[in-house]
Amino acid sequence: MRHSRVLMAASAAATVGLLVACAYSGAGEGGNPMSFFITSANPGKGADLGGLAGADRHCQALAAAVGAGGRTWHAYLSTAATASSPAVNARDRIGRGPWRNVKGVVVAANVDELHGANKLNKQNSLTEKGGIIPGKGEPGIAHDILTGSTPDGRAPAPGRDATCSNWTSSTEGGAIVGHHDRDGINPDPVANVSWNSSHPTPGCSPGALKRVGGAGLLYCFAAN
């Protein structure tokens, strides 16, 4: 009888240990259901993100730090065509949705809704840590989010640099940004409410981005 009790106790302990291990593994390998966030920080060089690959790594690292690293994360960024590569549209990089913030709120069910009647605003466009980015009229305003995109999520027409040399410049050039709080001072009402295409920046350095209300932050989406 005693031997039987010992075996039962050992079995129960092993089961509990397995459940704890599974729960821990789930939290560390994608247990966080978040599939959309704004980066809580810039990598450090303004709009020089190390290209699309560097921007994606930044999204991936921030997601992993909060237990959402089991997904494939991409930055919502477009790039212009070059002599050796075609243009890239931000909308084509982010999967099919739906996308949820860290609180579980669905901000868009699919790509069409994301570029239409989405739920992106200051309260729902949270960082990976659940923080709210300061908006218009607040200290430390950082509502300019780098996108390099048109309102429908595509690369802009050739001409003026709108992607800071495809996210490799921290000096010359400029980038299209959106307003995460859907507010601004641009007289164009469409630009004021655009989350992804509000206005160009006057440069690509951290200082140039800051002068017009930005901190070099990005939208990150889980592509799977």
Q: What is the rounded distance in angstroms from the CA atom of residue 185 to the CA atom of residue 1?
A: 79
pLDDT tens digits along 175-190 = 999 999 999 877 887 7
pLDDT at 44 over 70: yes
Q: Report strand pairing: 106-108 vs 199-200.
A: unpaired
Q: What is the rounded distance in angstroms from the CA atom of residue 175 to the CA atom of residue 178?
A: 10
Distances in Å between the Cα of 195 and the Cα atoms of 78, 88, 200, 222 are 14, 19, 13, 18
Share of the chain above pLDDT 90, in %: 79
Cross-strand bridge partners of residue 38: 127, 219
Pick from 48-52, 93-97, 189-193: least confident: 189-193
pLDDT tens digits along 127-136 = 999 999 999 9
3-state secondary structure of 119: coil
Query: What separation, in Å, do the N-terminal and C-terminal C-alpha atoms of the chain show?
Result: 52
pLDDT at 19 over 50: no
Per-residue confidence at 192, pLDDT binned at 50, 70, 90?
Answer: confident
Q: What pLDDT does residue 31 have? A: 67
User: What pTM was estimated for this model as a whole?
Assistant: 0.85
